[in-house]
Amino acid sequence: MTTLLSSIDLLARWDVLVALLVGSIGGVLVGAMPGVGAAVAIAIVLPLTFSLDPLVGLTALLGIYGSSAYGSAIPAILINTPGTPVSALTTYDGYPMTKRGEARRALCLAYGSSFFGAMFAIVALMLMAPVLAKIAPMFGAREIFLAACLGIMLVVITHRGQALAAAILACLGIFLQTIGIEPTAYTQRFTFGQPWLQSGVDLIVVVLGLFAIGQALVLLMSKDTKTEMPQVTKIGFMDQMREMWIFRRVVTVASGFGVICGMIPGVGEFMAQFLSYSYAQRTSKTPELFGKGNPEGVVVSEAANNAVPPAAMIPLLALGIPGEELTAMMLAVFYVHNVIPGPQLFAEHLDFIYALYISLFLLNILVVMFLFYSTKPLMLVMRIPGRFLGIVILTFSLIGVYTLRNSLNDVAIASAFGVFGFILKRLDLPTSPVILGLVLGKLMEDRLRTAMARVRDPLDFIDRPIAFILFMMIVLAVGTQIWTLTKGRGDAETKGPSDG
């Protein structure tokens, strides 16, 4: 109780509340703009938060992170274009509902289930926080190394059909973090004698390049399309909850999947949605209507989506391991302010953790209230032409990348990563493995070095219970992947040549 009061005290400041308000409304806006999304917005805002208090900066970023999925559902449902990729599945049933003249109902379901999913995750996490505070100190260097390894493996494996490409990109991210002067023996690695490479590749520069500049290039080189907007009347809070309550069973299960997938590093929204959607389809009385405007499809997709962000904070805060690119970006804010996420933070600053959860709770209420009145104005945002958004993103990205150090080299590196990100997006290849490789690679290198200093025999590495469990999970993950690939090939050979 004292911890809870202390966390409320931390939050009761005007700057934190303003950050929460700006972040949550900003998140809905960027989510509703097809082609922008939370990753681009956080990449741009990230350097600006460095000058703020850690809680203020994190609250603003959490606001964008937690609320963008709400906004993203609007274009997914109304114009069949997800604001961010995580709402892709919502288009399957949301847009057919709009075509049937049920746009308002689809939006009600999306908002209601998003709210339920997020609240479910926040409550689950608040209940789990004391347990995590006890478990987190059991993670030493070898456990964190193994957990980071597991995170990388899962990032690769969960990109089904692209696992090898994801592995290449994760390895590339790990390589990028090694450039510069390494911190133990102070030797240079891949600097090619260039002084500007000695400080290494900055995470912010890479993030801005890959996400902001890359996306700006995609938009600038695409054609603007005119979108026809359906009529939507005002949506009230009770409408949202009443519609959602009809599907409470599948919404609860989807929220549960969201929490589990969010907690496991590298898994995230797509797997949560996939599992929830498959479950809902399997247990539905009308499975044949999935993909043709089944309301259950909308609610499970949105509930799973919105349960992930709060859950993804768990590995980040408890172990310092980000599960996907957005939490990896948030990790940068922690490091800038010398707040090191990990077991100690959970054990010693539980009030800070609770404050973050309460801010997540508040932002969801703020967003739902905002959506009462703003669905119509948000539809105007969707009309902004894509190429114009490209100009906007490129102009904003300069502020992030140039103000870091006023360095033209940083801009050049960000631009190079921009082109790289542009190519990845054109090829539908994932960008998150690069960022996770970059962040987790550093963690793995540091922790392996520390752990190996105390290990005499290779088996000593897994002689502690958590280390052994994590090791077995890695073996299981790799084994399952090999089995799936072998089975897939066997099936393909049985059926004859595939046209891919």
Partner 1 sequence: MSHQDADPLHLFPQSRKPGEILFATITMLIALVLLAAVPWQTTWLPGKGFASQPRFWPALSLCGVVLFGFLNVLSRARVARTPGRWQEAIAWVRSLEFIGWYMLYVAAIPIIGYLFATISFCVGLALRVGYRGRTVLIAGLFGLCVVLFFKTAMNVKIPAGAIYHYAPEGMRYILLRFF
Can residue 189 be called a binding residue for partner 1 (CB under 8 A)? yes
Contact between 138 and partner 1 by CB under 8 A: the answer reads no
Q: How many CA atoms lie within 13 A of 79 on its CB side?
A: 21
First CA to last CA distance, the chain? 57
Binding string, 448-477, against partner 1, x = CB under 8 A?
xx-xxx------------------------
**Which window, 56-64, 124-132, 253-261, 439-447, contacts partner 1 (CB under 8 A)?**
439-447
Tell me how far CA of residue 429 lies from CA of 160, 168, 379, in angstroms. Answer: 11, 11, 29
Please identify which residue in 174, 332, 356, 367 interacts with partner 1, judged by CB under 8 A: 174
Residue 146 has, within 13 A of its CA and on its CB side, a CA count of 23
Compare residues 269 and 351 and give the one whose CB is closer to partner 1: 269
- Which of residues 22, 123, 172, 260 is near partner 1 by CB under 8 A? 172
Decide whether 344 or 484 has the Cβ nearer to partner 1.
484
30 or 122: whose CB is closer to partner 1? 30
**Which structure tokens are listed for 416?**
């190079």
- Least distance to partner 1, CB of residue 200, Å: 12
Find the binder of partner 1 among 260, 336, 339, 392 (CB under 8 A): 392
Least Å from the CB of residue 123 to partner 1: 28
Nearer of residues 190 and 196 to partner 1, judged by Cβ: 190
For residue 261, which of 132, 126, 114, 154 has the smallest C-alpha distance? 154
Compute the least distance from the CB of residue 271 to partner 1, in Å.
9
Q: Is 494 in the site for partner 1 (CB under 8 A)?
A: no
What residues numbered 46-85 form the site for partner 1, per CB under 8 A? 48
CA distance 178 to 32: 37
CA distance 204 to 46: 8
- Distance, CA of 181 to CA of 159 (rounded, Å): 33
Burial code of 303-340, b = ≥16 C-beta within 10 A, e = fewer?
Answer: bbbbbbbbbbbbbbbbbbbbbbbbbbbbbbbbebbeee
Q: How far apart are CB 281 and partner 1 at their closest, in Å?
A: 7
Neighbours of 146 (CB within 10 A): 26
User: In whole angstroms, how close is the CB of 163 to partner 1 at the nearest point?
Assistant: 9
In whole angstroms, the minimum distance from the beta carbon of 145 to partner 1 comes to 10
At 322 the three-state DSSP class reads: coil
Choice between 145 and 354, CB closer to partner 1: 145
Q: Alpha-carbon distance 357 to 337, whole Å?
A: 19
> Binding to partner 1 by residue 101, rule CB under 8 A?
no
CB of 219 to partner 1, least distance (A): 9
Structure tokens that stand for 90 in this block? 């919502």
One residue of 445, 462, 467, 470 binding partner 1 per CB under 8 A: 445
Please tell me whether residue 87 binds partner 1 under the rule CB under 8 A.
no
Asked if 273 and 305 count as a contact pair (C-beta separation under 8 A), the reply is yes
Q: Does 199 bind partner 1 (CB under 8 A)?
A: no
Sequence-separated contacts (24+) of 7-14 with Cβ below 8 Å: 7/350, 7/351, 7/352, 7/353, 7/354, 7/355, 7/358, 8/355, 8/358, 9/351, 10/55, 10/351, 10/352, 10/355, 11/55, 11/355, 11/358, 11/359, 11/362, 13/56
Positions in 331-350 near partner 1 (CB under 8 A): none
Contact between 221 and partner 1 per CB under 8 A: yes
User: Which member of 291, 339, 365, 471 binds partner 1 (CB under 8 A)?
Assistant: 291
Give, to the nearest 10 degrees, the angle between helix 248-263 and helix 237-245: 90
Q: Which residue has the tokens 């999935």?
A: 290
Which range of residues in 17-25, 35-43, 121-129, 396-404 is near partner 1 by CB under 8 A? 396-404
By CB under 8 A, tell whether 249 contacts partner 1: no
Which 408-437 residues touch partner 1, going by CB under 8 A? Answer: 408, 411-412, 415, 418-419, 422-423, 426-429, 437
Q: Does 162 bind partner 1 (CB under 8 A)?
A: yes
